[in-house]
């Protein structure tokens, strides 16, 4: 069973501050509407994982993350791949980019966090 490490990276705090202080500033790669007709924003970002780039697409509305899709990565499917699934689930569950790193997959976790931050801040 993987144990969780303390909260990650001061850089993530900067991304969270951007979300909390006026919404998402990312480049919208597609627009969708929710059931009530409000716009949802999809943002692309990437970060450096243990074995290379991690690409994500983030769906957000009113500063809350609704969905995270890992588009591509080169991480080990059993360690890094499982960590990415767990991290995405944590983000979706909380609606926030502030999630715990996965023990044993620290660099993968950092790359995922970097990808999230880049997506939310419009740096793809």
pLDDT digits (tens, 9 = 90+) for 69-80: 999 999 999 999
CATH topology of domain 4-120: Sufe protein. Chain: A (3.90.1010)
pLDDT digits 0-9 by tens, 32-78:
555 666 566 899 999 999 999 999 999 998 889 999 999 999 999 99
Q: How are strands ordered across the β-sheet holding 39-48?
A: 28-33, 39-48, 53-61, 64-72
Contact 80, 73 (CB under 8 A): yes
Report domain extents, the chain: 4-120
Residues 6+ apart with CB under 8 A from 25: 18, 120, 121, 122
Mapped onto helix, strand or coil, the DSSP state of residue 23 is coil
Q: Given a cut of 90, is residue 81 above it in pLDDT?
A: yes
**What is the rounded CA–CA span in Å between residue 113 and residue 47?**
7
């Amino acid at each position: 069973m993987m144990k969780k490490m303390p909260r990650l990276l001061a850089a993530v705090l900067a991304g969270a501050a951007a979300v909390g202080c006026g919404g998402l500033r990312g480049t919208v790669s597609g627009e969708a509407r929710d059931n009530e007709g409000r716009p949802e924003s999809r943002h692309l970002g990437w970060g450096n994982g243990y074995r290379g780039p991690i690409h994500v697409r983030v769906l957000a509305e009113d500063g809350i993350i609704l969905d995270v899709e890992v588009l591509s990565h080169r991480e080990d499917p059993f360690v890094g791949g499982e960590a990415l699934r767990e991290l995405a689930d944590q983000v979706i569950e909380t609606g926030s980019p502030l999630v715990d790193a996965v023990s044993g997959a620290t660099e993968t976790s950092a790359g995922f966090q970097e990808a999230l931050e880049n997506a939310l801040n419009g740096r793809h």
